[in-house]
Amino acid sequence: MPQQIAVLMAAYNAEKTLSQAIDSLLRGTHPCKIYVVDDASSTPVADLIAPDPERVEVIRLERNAGPAGARNAGLARILANGHEYVAIMDADDVAHPERLAKQAAFLAANPHVAAVGCWERVIDENSEFISYAAMPCDAKTIRNLLFVKMCVSHPALMVRAQVFKAVGLYRQSYYAAEDYELVRRIAARYDVANLPEYLIEYRISSNGMSARHRKRQLIDRLRIQVAYFDPFKWQAWYGVIRTLVQVVLPLKRKLPDTIKPARAKMLQAT
């Protein structure tokens, strides 16, 4: 029988943080099978971590496929192997011991919820604490706020495997915002929630997607907002206008693009 939880981790030249990320999952209170997709890293992932065929599988891509392509390669293997839940995690983040157990328990107790995230502690490249990132937790608020921006942390997400079979995998046409589009697509058909607990250390990196491709990310976000636009939702209008302003007048950002509780309350639909 396969492990109940599969962890999907794409890795590209993540030799400084990969072992810590994997170790944090292996030390967790819930067993899992980790699928590390080596996206044609300069140093192969298989040279960096000890072999553990029962718990860690490395999928090496010969050519760099980008975030969506790499994750899709891992998802194809995961879905074929019959796991019940798919937990997403980045190769530079750190999971708290109870992250997987608490998310799996929540999904088991809430069959109407397709995916669940959690709150984050934000750290820098040296693992120094920066801030807390707390996001809305109920499905209605999340669905409305997704018109504005991402309010579910992608690397902290756990998704039912059957949901990927129903809605499809990552769309590579949104190179810098494939995670946002996936969550929008899931939330359009199912409920999505967040656990009000800090269960992951989210690392801000100067070499991360948001830092290197901010303009492309904003343009992709705008394309997604237009694709999922609902003229009867004021949040949809606000989201498009907000992103257009950021494209024209980009701001230097240091924290992840998440919404604090007070902000979420202010934007919540009446």
Q: What is the pLDDT of residue 222?
A: 96
Question: Considering the entire predicted model, what is its pTM?
Answer: 0.89
Q: What is the pLDDT of residue 2?
A: 85
Asked if residues 152 and 142 have their Cβ atoms less than 8 Å apart, the reply is yes
Tens place of pLDDT per residue across the chain (270 aa): 789 999 999 999 999 999 999 999 999 999 999 999 999 999 999 999 987 888 999 999 999 999 999 999 999 999 999 999 999 999 999 999 999 999 999 999 999 999 999 999 999 999 999 999 999 999 999 999 999 999 999 999 999 999 999 999 999 999 999 999 999 999 999 999 999 999 999 999 766 555 567 899 999 999 999 999 999 999 999 999 999 999 988 655 444 444 343 333 333 332
CATH code for position 137 = 3.90.550.10
Instruction: Write out the residue range of the structural domain in which residue 54 sits.
Output: 5-267
Number of folded domains that form the chain: 1
Q: What is the pLDDT of residue 31?
A: 96
